[in-house]
A and B are shown apart, each in its own frame.
Chain A
Amino acid sequence: MPELVLQLTRAGFLALLWLFVLAALRVVRSDLYAASGLRAAVPGVFRKGTKQPAKGKTARQLVVTQGALAGTRISLDGRPILVGRADDSTLVLDDDFASTRHARLSLRGSDWYVEDLGSTNGTYLDRAKVTAPLRVPLGAPIRIGKTVIELRT
């Protein structure tokens, strides 16, 4: 083998060996973010198609903005909030247009979701009727009968 080719293969092999090390380090780096599954919500990485709440702010309280209970605040501690006329609801509504168990707000990850529990008159998030669990952005009005509630920080 000519001397030149020998020198080229000698340098080339070492370069490829180091390329392997660098590729391995790349895998290590990508693993830092993807390993635990809990790290899916990396700051700055927004999911497509959903409106994001203000950065770093999670809802701390639920405020009734319209209806007979207007002004009522409920502090959120991560447990689900049940809304309806039933006595054991978290927010007990005295409202003829609300069902006994009307809607539920629950925390998943860092977001609150509203779901309709099969009410007669329906639950509305903003202007959309809630048919499947929907993520509730901060400040978006949820209409239940004559009552309107929203999440605040």
Chain B
Amino acid sequence: MSLPPGVLGAATTHMNVSGQPSATPTRRGTELAMLGFVAGLVALALVVISENQTQSLNPNLLLYVGGYAVLCAGAHFAVRKFAPYADPLILPCAALLNGLSIAMLYRLDPVLALRAFNNGDSYSNAAPKQLIWTAVSLVVMTLTLWLVKDHRTLARYGYTFGLAGLFLLVLPGVLPCSISCAGGAKLWIILGPVSIQPGEFAKVLIIVFVAAFLVSKRDLFTIAGRKVLGLELPRLRDTGPLLIAWAVAIVVLMIEKELGASLMFFGTVLVMVYLATERSAWIWIGVVLFIGGATVAYKLFTHVQTRVTNWVDPFADAQNDGFQMVQSLFSLGSGGVAGSGWGAGHPELVPVIQSDFIVAAFGEELGFIGLAAMLLVYMLLAMRGLRSGLAVRDTFGKLLAGGLAFLLLWQVFVVVGGISKLIPQTGLTAPFLSAGGSSLIASYIMVALLLRISDAARRPQATRPKPQAPIAEANTVLVERPS
């Protein structure tokens, strides 16, 4: 008789009737509130530093406070425009760490400049540079969000990214030492005043590649081989990719004289293989490979031996090789539980405090309480990344988010473990905290990718196919007339 009205009615009234919220909250308001909190916290830190150091409010303070607040607002509006459903915590956590880094560099600049002056060296202030690098990083983040409208498009260029990443990883090692050597490692490309650390970008590219590779070759890794001691080992030929990653890590270690980059590279590949296959055998294989590689590296390379000796007993050679490590321990120790307060400690006694050892400066001035809060912020950031990975629907997105979140935590562990003598020290930078453009830009690219994935995870699907059987196929039940 009149089927069409009913059908139309069902289609149009569906969302109203079902009682479920038709629009997922974007939670951008939460993000803005958290960013406002962060900006206030950083402003407070800068004011306290200025008061403690000069007993007055420095007029250039306004530049930092205002500039940082403007950058936060800009980042917020970029996310609002390009990833409206992104996670509300990722950006505030990154912004807090970045802001604290600017504050700490602002605090360190006068004392470092004074020391350089006394030694007859030149010193250019790190805080204004870091503020500029933050602006550049946020622009790069916005560009990434704008270019990568859907993270799955990245999977298409997996091999390209992989080659580019490998190229960047090895590039400083093969360049002549005059433009790539600094501080005993060949990690940089120094062109005039600008120095780039291509390894920082390489790790992001390689994660994209590994995620794409594992998604396309996933079956290969789950074929069961022989069972040894309750562990299902994969077949020997399937371990090829992991062995290649291991070999690359060793080669990088050899030519760049740097533990950190190869440790990042190998650890992240290993964990992503584990994420893709859910088989613990891979972890054990990786650990065995790592122990083998570490032993070989220790036997062959003197710089590795130095690091290990410093780790075992930094006080054995406290005035030369162990000096940095010893000063870092003193710095953390004098900070104690509650810290000395902004500007009241002497973190400048630690060599390269502004980049590799900046965590020691926070440990001294904010103490265990402050440093623990900062580590929790790192953990929250990684946790939100992992959560986005769990919530997103495609495998590539899951692996990418998992890899990025793990890389962040892994790097923090290696850095903080290094400065606190838990593990041998490496030359890695603390993400968002260390002075330096490459590290900051790479970290914000990672944030952009996590924002993109979380946006995809929370965005309501445009067309949700409604499982509704056509009337012709509707279940017909035999109805019997009661007697």
Contact = CB atoms under 8 A, between A and B. Distances in A.
Q: Do A and B bind each other?
A: yes
Interface of A: 1, 5-7, 9-14, 16-21, 23-25, 27-28, 31, 34-38, 40-41, 47, 50, 68-72, 74-75, 77, 79-82, 88, 90-92, 99-101, 104, 106, 108-109, 111, 113, 115-119, 132-133, 135
A90 B344 CA distance: 81
A82 to B, nearest CB: 6
B341 A108 contact: no
Given A35-B391, A90-B477, A115 B370 contact: no
Given A17-B374, A88-B476, 15 more contacts: A5-B51, A10-B339, A10-B342, A12-B44, A17-B41, A21-B373, A28-B383, A31-B27, A37-B24, A37-B460, A40-B20, A40-B21, A72-B479, A74-B479, A106-B10
Interface string B23-59: 0110100100010011011001100100110010000
Contacts of A80: 468-469, 471, 474
Contacts of A6: 52, 341, 344
B34 A14 contact: no
A108 B34 contact: no
Nearest to A17: B373
B288 interface: no
B173 interface: no
B136 interface: no
B13 A133 contact: yes
Contacts of B338: 10-11, 14
Nearest to B41: A16
A117 B3 contact: yes
Nearest to B375: A21
B430 interface: no
A106 B17 CA distance: 11
Q: Which 3 residue pairs of A and B lie closest in terms of their CB atoms, listed nearest first?
A: A118-B2, A10-B341, A117-B6
Contacts, number: 168
Given A40-B21, A90-B476, A108-B14, A14 B9 contact: no
Contact of B37 (A23, A91, A118): A23
Contacts of A70: 482
A15 B334 CA distance: 20
A101 B380 contact: no
Interface of B: 1-3, 5-6, 9-10, 13-14, 17-21, 24-25, 27, 30, 34, 37-38, 40-41, 44-45, 48, 51-52, 55, 88-89, 92-93, 96, 338-342, 344, 366-367, 369-370, 373-374, 376-377, 380, 383-384, 391, 458, 460, 468-469, 471-472, 474-477, 479-482
Contact of A1 (B24, B51, B380, B474): B51
A24 B89 contact: yes
B391 A109 contact: no
Contacts of A108: 14, 17-18
Contacts of B475: 77, 79, 90
Contact of A13 (B44, B458, B479): B44
A113 B13 CA distance: 11
B37 A132 contact: no
Contact of A104 (B6, B18, B479): B6
5 contacts: A24-B377, A36-B391, A40-B19, A104-B6, A108-B17
Contacts of A118: 1-2, 5-6
Nearest to A91: B479
A29 B391 CA distance: 16
A69 B51 contact: no
Given A40-B20, A118-B1, A82 B377 contact: no
Given A14-B367, A74-B477, A37 B21 contact: yes
A62 B52 CA distance: 77
B471 A88 contact: yes
B89 A27 contact: yes
Contact of A27 (B14, B88, B468): B88
Contacts of A91: 479
A15 B151 CA distance: 38
B369 A79 contact: no
Nearest to A104: B6
B115 to A, nearest CB: 23
B6 A17 contact: no
B89 A14 contact: no
A28 B454 CA distance: 14
B180 to A, nearest CB: 38
B326 to A, nearest CB: 26
A16 to B, nearest CB: 6
